[in-house]
Structure 1
């Protein structure tokens, strides 16, 4: 069992990582705290094997924290700012998670830590994550907050350069994100990339006609690049 400590000055970020840790059988949460000094005390007393560490904190930055503990335990950096990645890797962090953090990316990072700790701690190998543990929601960063969106509510996603709009029956959520990243995070059997600018929820499709998909009042084109893979996905559902 890998003992985990979460350090972040944002309570919502603590809640997300706490929830993810509870989903993984070989992880155990020791503490989730907004205080870098409390976390530092726990690490110095050997209370944790792995720290999820935010970079920008008011009391003590993540980089300062890393320099103080000097490799005493494994560290995964968590931040919304990719420019800190180089500093983290120079200080030998195990991984770097960019917010908003998807569960599959989180699982990949902790599996890497498990492999590193296994020779000395005899941690058993993690079983493959069953499909049933896949999250039923995602968190996306909007202009003023991190917003939770249930996957079953998503109708379709429209991309424009570095921004995407996620449409649900009640709202449109705009986030600074790439279509490719969302395509990787969303369940493959439930969503399909049908155009360079569109991902659709398959079970929300009302009709398909002349290379166009209708979802509610929206007509979505099917791009030539994605046509074959899309129709192959829905082929098994045809009667």
Structure 2
């Protein structure tokens, strides 16, 4: 999973880039930064693999900010100014996207990023072994059998893994755990929920019932649920 931040002083640019990233399974959002000072603070407090960087910003310009970083993450420049492209590549950026750019061009930039699988796994607080997950929760690792998981809920910067008799809170993104679960056994029904298919009691309208829990079905995930009914 590639953890990224957006550094741009324009809100619409954040909306466009975040929307593109949400459509890709291997990108995990960390924070919106509207100037370089916010970005520096964010990098000091978070693990970040990728920066989407605008150049023309207040306080500190994009490349000036980049030159202050001793070990910068990978960088994709997003700007309306093509004349700085050469300088960008001299700073070892991944790609240089000229605004406005479309989704296809955006994907080409993302595909230039090579993050080794071993590196990605080591950044997770989740480890898969056989038919269990080891979840790091409150500085300890808890083993959870995959078949015991009823559903998983995203709550802020955490996910809550609900089993028959326990709830485990883990500081991770829901997208990080999704790719570790067996695809035939679990389904995402909402941006904040993943459910175990085998534990579904009933599906009614836009909700799923599992034991005493009611899980919503989001509009964009409705087609996934409908496939279960075929």
TM-score when normalising by structure 1: 0.48
Runs of 4+ more than 6 Å apart: none
Quick check: 1:121 aligned with 2:119? Answer: yes
- Greater helix share, structure number: 1
Q: State the distance in 1 between where 2:20 and 2:81 align.
A: 21
Paired residue for 1:22? 22
- Deviation of 1:45 (Å): 3.4
Alignment of 1:38-77 (within 5 A): 38-77=38-77
TM-score when normalising by structure 2: 0.50
Q: Which ranges in structure 1 are unaligned for 5 or more consecutive residues?
A: 124-239
- Greater strand share, structure number: 2
**Residues 102-147 of structure 1: CA distance to partner in whole angstroms, max 9, x if unpaired?**
111111111211x2x2265247xxxxxxxxxxxxxxxxxxxxxxxx
3-state DSSP of counterpart to 2:86 = helix
Pair 97,39 (structure 1): closer, same or farther in 2 beyond 3 Å: same
- Deviation of 1:88 (Å): 0.7
Paired residue for 1:7? 7
CA contact (8 A) 1:8 1:54 kept: yes
**Residues 17-59 of structure 1: CA distance to partner in whole angstroms, max 9, x if unpaired?**
0101101100011112212211111223343110000000011
Q: Which ranges in structure 2 are unaligned for 5 or more consecutive residues?
A: 122-230
Pair 105,70 (structure 1): closer, same or farther in 2 beyond 3 Å: farther
Q: State the distance in 1 between where 2:41 and 2:99 align.
A: 26
Two-structure CA RMSD over aligned residues (Å): 2.0
